[in-house]
Each structure stands twice: as C-alpha cells, then as structure tokens.
Amino acid sequence: MPAQLRQLRQQIKTVKSTAKITRAQEMIATSRIVKAQQAVAASKPYADQITQALSALVSHHVGVDHPLLHEQPTDNRSAVLIVTSDRGFCGAYNANVIREAEALIRSLREAGREPVPYVVGNKGITWYRFRGREVAETWHGFSDRPTFASAERIGQRLTEDFLKTDAEGGVGEIHVVYTEFVSMLTQSVQVRRLMPLEITEGETGKVAPAYEFEPSAQAALDLLLPNYVESRIYHMLLQSAASFQASVRRAMKSATDNANELLGVYTRQMNQARQAAITQEISEIVGGADALAESGGE
C-alpha cells in the first residue's frame, strides 16, 4: 500500500507540472493571436489596393499583356504550395492542411496533370521526407511570424517556375493550400489557385477607377504583377500564422483541461488508497489488542 501511495503522489506531481506547462503555452498563444490578427488586418489594405489597381489596369488598357495572366495548356506540371507550421502542439492543424493537399494532388493526377509540391514549415517538410516524397522547394523558420521578405522569396521562386516550360522544370499552374483564420474557434483550410492570375473588376456594378500609369501601363503591369503575387502569398502566410496560434491555444486548453481531470482521478485514488491503509492499520491494532486481551484473560 505505501508503494501505491508513492506512485500516485509521483503521478500527481507529474500531471501538475504538465498542466503548468500547457497553461503557460495557452497564455502565450493567446497573446500571440492578437498580434497575428493585427498583422493580417494591416496587410489587407495593401492587398486590396494593389488588386484594385491591377483590375483597373487590365480593364482600361486592352493592349497590355503579361505571361502571368495566361493559361499554359502545354505545361502539364502543377505546383502545390503547402503551408504548414514549424512547431507542433497545435492539434490537427498540420494534419488538416496535408489532408487537403493530398486530396488536391490526387485530383490533379486524375485530371492528367503532374503535381509538384512546394512546402512551407518543418512539419510538412518532415511529413514528405519521411515518406520519401520529392518536393521542388522548401522554406522554414518563419511560420510563426512570417515577414514580407519570406513571402517575396516564395513568390519569386514560384513565378520563375511558372514562366519556365515543362522541359526547363517549370509549372503551368500554381495552387496554394493554407489555413484561413475565421475566428478564435474556427480555422478553415483553403485551396486557392494562385497562377494564372484571375483579375476581376470587383463588385458588380462598380466601375474600376481610371489610373494614369508612368512610364507606361505595360511597365506598371510588369512591376505590379510580381508584387501582387507576393502580397497574396504574404497574406496567406499571415492567415496561416494566426490560425496556427489559435490551434495551439485550443490544443493547450484541451490538454490543460484533461490534465486537471486526470489530476482529480489520481487524487481520488490516492485518498481511497490512504483511507484503505488507515483502515488496515486500525484493523491490525484492534486485532492485536483483542489478541493481547485474550492471552491476558487466560
């Protein structure tokens, strides 16, 4: 019985330490979610304005053209950019992204295309390498706090590969699988086609403003389109970062609740074991006293 009590005390101590860690992680994630949401909100005006400018340019200048605006039916390869996290303790966050990416890869193969993965985040990189799957490029180390420089590197590589032919190792279209932050409780995995670009004029009935571009509309298009691609990737990285922090918070809260519940179970078991030990000691004392009384009476 003393051995059982020692074991239960050690288990209670371990669970208490675990609950402290998970609670601390939950609080850290909660504070980081606010900063991640602010970063998403700060990036939105720029993305909206550059989209509006591109829409106006394409709408009002019929003669302008760019390879990023056209389908490439002769290129059979499709790039799939998969945005995962560098760290774990985030529940099913990475599993959901990889599951959607694998579903997209299967659908591309069924359509007769050759999918080419590009992976962001150590978790996704490890998943593909462990299974011996080839990837065209990997990036890691910034999933928690992405910067525009990180998005610029990704955008430049994807744009370069899009402009190449299949023979040169290029791709004909680019898809992105990332997680969109909806709320603290809801994060949704999204699949978006990034290239070829689909520029729309915005809301129905709203006429795009007529801009004057210097030195020319074509030069502006050549400059704006790569920036537009990079800004979209940056916005997706920020959305994924906010979703990751929300997933960490939810997972750590669940772990803390489970630890507290387990702590209650172990505490009850320890109290029962202690009471059983006390009862046994009392029974032994009473039994010994009865034996002494009987021997003295004889």
Give the model's confidence band at 225: pLDDT under 50 very low, under 70 low, under 90 confident, else very high. Answer: confident
Predicted confidence (pLDDT) at residue 202 exceeds the cutoff of 50: no
pLDDT tens sequence across 228-287: 888 889 999 999 999 999 999 988 988 888 988 888 888 888 888 778 777 877 877 877
Q: What is the mean pLDDT of residues 96-119?
A: 93
Domain span including residue 100: 27-251
Pick the more confident residue, 14 or 218: 14
Whether residue 234 lies inside any domain: the answer is yes
Residue 272 lies in a domain: no
Flag whether 192 is in a domain.
Answer: yes
Q: What is the bridge-based pairing of β-strands 187-195 and 173-181?
A: antiparallel
pLDDT of residue 175: 94
Cβ within 8 Å of residue 151, ≥6 positions away: 230, 231, 233, 234, 237
For residue 215, being part of any structural domain is answered with yes
* Angle formed by the axes of helices 217-297 and 2-60, nearest 10°: 170
Q: H helices of 164-216, where?
A: none
- For the entire predicted model, the pTM comes to 0.80
Residue 238 lies in a domain: yes
Please report which confidence band the pLDDT of residue 73 belongs to, taking 50, 70 and 90 as the band edges: low
CATH number, residue 165: 3.40.1380.10
Residue 204 CB coordination number (10 Å) = 5
Q: Which residue has the tokens 């400018």?
A: 53
Q: Is residue 288 part of a domain?
A: no
Kindly calculate the radius of gyration of the chain based on its CA atoms and give it in whole angstroms: 30
Any domain includes 289: no
177: enclosing H helix or E strand: strand 173-181
Please write the tens of the pLDDT for every residue from 146-183.
Answer: 999 999 999 999 988 888 877 777 888 899 999 999 88
What is the pLDDT confidence band of residue 49, given thresholds at 50, 70 and 90? Answer: confident
- Answer yes or no: is 96 within a domain: yes
Tokens encoding 59: 């709408």
Distance CA 274, CA 253 (A): 31
Tell how many helices (H) and how many strands (E) occur in the chain.
Answer: 5, 5
Number of domains within the chain = 1
